[in-house]
Amino acid sequence: MAQLFRPGANTYARLLLALPLLVAGLLFAGMVVARSGTATGEGRFVEQPVPFSHQHHAGELGIDCRYCHAGVETGAHAGVPPTHTCMTCHYQLYTNAQMLAPVRDSLASGRPIAWRRVNRLPDYVYFDHHAHVNNGVPCAACHGDIRRMPLTRQATPMSMGWCLDCHRAPEERIVAPDRVYSDAPYQRRSGADRAAARATTIRIAHSGRNLTDCSTCHR
C-alpha cells in the first residue's frame, strides 16, 4: 500500500494543534504587557532640570497645591508655576544652592524652566482639571499621595480602562470639598463625602450627560 502521508506529517500536525495555544499565549502576554507599568508609565520617574520635591514643599512645608498649580480650579490645565513663583521663597532661602542654579538662570534670562511632563495623555484625549476638582475629585485620585514623593512619579496607569472605571462609578471617587486637596482623601470617608458624592451624581444625571460617552474625553 502506498504511503498516504509524508514523514513530516506528524510534525506539521503537532504544530497545527499547538498553534491555538501559541496564539492564546501571545495574546495573554500582550494583555499583561499592555496593563503593566512598561506600557502605561505607572511608577515612572521623569528626570527634571531641578530635582523638585513635592514631599518637602507640599508635605513638610504644607504648601497648598493651588499655590503653584494656579489654574487647577479655573481651567483645563493645572499649570506649571512660573519661575517668579519659585523665587518668591528662594530670594531668601537657599539663595546659592547649586541645585537651584537653573531657577536663578531662568529668572535672569527670562526663559522658563523646561519642566518635563510626568503624567502624559495622548493628544486625542481631553482632560479638564477644574471639572474634576470642582466636582469633588481629589488630586490624589490621579496623582497619588504626592506629598510623600521626594521625586514626582506617575502614580496611576491613566489608561482608558482606568478612567472609565471612575466614570462608571464616580460616587466612589468623590469627596467633600474640604478634602479635595488633602493627602489621604479616601481614608475614613465621612457622611460629608457621601453627601457630596450624591449631590454631584444627581447634578450629572440632571444635566443629561453620560460620563461614559466617547465625546466626554475625545473631542
Model pTM score: 0.82
Q: Which residue has the cell 501559541?
A: 22
Residue 130: partners with Cβ closer than 8 Å, 6 or more residues away: 71, 72, 73, 74, 75, 76
The per-residue pLDDT string of the chain (219 residues; one tens digit each, 9 = 90 and over) reads: 556 666 666 777 777 777 777 777 767 666 665 665 677 889 999 999 999 999 999 999 999 999 999 999 999 999 999 999 999 999 999 999 999 999 999 999 999 999 999 998 999 999 999 999 999 999 999 999 999 999 999 999 999 999 999 999 999 999 999 999 998 899 999 999 999 999 999 999 899 889 999 999 998
Residue 48: partners with Cβ closer than 8 Å, 6 or more residues away: 115, 116, 151, 152
